[in-house]
């Protein structure tokens, strides 16, 4: 005789299974919330043990939810990259090409100033296929439109390229790191000086910019140094603004 095993909503164990799923969802949400704060405070190299402890879970639980640092970074900072994309869209809505470009640069640097993790992320690249990189790629397309529009109007120097914006973000992140405690707004002057240098005007030509390949290699290397290079990066991974 075959034993009958009850099933359905009232079956023994079904509530326990739902409870386990709810616990897993709560743990994931707690880890992500804490990771955003810790990465913002300490950068993307922050110890994962600190994140687990603050979230009230064990390090094994963190790794079950996010097997690599890269996965955690991609999930925790996707909303920040969405803000980057939204800023590019908003800048394109500004009628004046230079005003839109300058506002975008200042806005992105402002986001960096409030979040060390975002500052790190903007200077590196994660694996292709991550949602965060798809968002970044779409945003980069809009940034190139911003750049070309400003150049076409004669307000942005003709030899400006997307890699120059990446160089500015890297340099500004370094200024922020050094001055954050004692002169937290020093970066604003640095960015204003850079914007002045970017304006279309009679001036000596610039040295050759780094190539897209060179900057992609630099971004991949930074990702690896920050513990986010565990898997091979596909050639299709969005990297520099190009």
Could you read off the pLDDT of 2-56 as tens digits, one per residue? 444 444 545 555 555 565 588 889 999 999 999 999 999 999 999 999 999 999 9
Q: Tokens 């970066």 identify what position?
A: 187
74 is written with which tokens? Answer: 């991609």
Q: How far, in Å, CA of 109 to CA of 121, rounded?
A: 13
What parts of the chain have a pLDDT lower than 50? Answer: 1-7, 9, 231-235
pLDDT of residue 239: 60
Q: Cα-flanking dihedrals φ and ψ of residue 184, to 5°?
A: -60, -20
Closest CA to 97 of 24, 158, 150: 150
Provide the pLDDT for residue 129. 67
Domains of the chain: 14-67 (1.10.10), 77-225 (1.10.357.10)
Question: What's the pLDDT score for residue 203?
Answer: 65
The tokens for 202 are 């009679």
């Amino acid at each position: 005789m075959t034993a009958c095993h009850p099933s359905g909503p009232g079956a023994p164990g079904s509530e326990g299974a739902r409870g386990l799923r709810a616990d897993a969802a709560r743990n994931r949400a707690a880890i992500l919330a804490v990771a955003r704060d810790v990465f913002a405070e300490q950068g993307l190299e922050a110890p994962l043990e600190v994140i687990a402890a603050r979230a009230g879970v064990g390090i094994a639980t963190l790794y079950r939810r996010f097997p690599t640092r890269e996965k955690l970074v991609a999930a925790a900072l996707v909303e920040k990259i969405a803000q980057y994309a939204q800023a590019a869209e908003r800048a394109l809505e500004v009628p004046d090409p230079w005003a839109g470009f300058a506002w975008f640069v200042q806005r992105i640097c402002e986001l960096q100033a409030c979040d060390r993790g975002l500052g790190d992320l903007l200077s590196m690249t994660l694996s292709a296929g991550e949602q965060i990189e798809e968002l970044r790629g779409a945003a980069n397309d809009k940034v190139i439109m911003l750049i070309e529009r400003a150049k076409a109007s004669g307000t942005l120097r003709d030899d400006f390229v997307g890699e120059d914006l990446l160089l500015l973000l890297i340099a500004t992140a370094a200024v922020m790191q050094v001055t954050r405690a004692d002169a937290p707004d020093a970066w604003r002057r640095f960015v204003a000086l850079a914007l002045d240098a970017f304006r279309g005007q009679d001036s000596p030509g610039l040295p050759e910019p780094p190539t897209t390949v060179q900057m992609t290699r630099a971004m991949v290397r930074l990702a690896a140094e920050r513990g986010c290079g565990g898997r091979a990066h596909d050639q299709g991974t969005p990297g520099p603004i190009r």
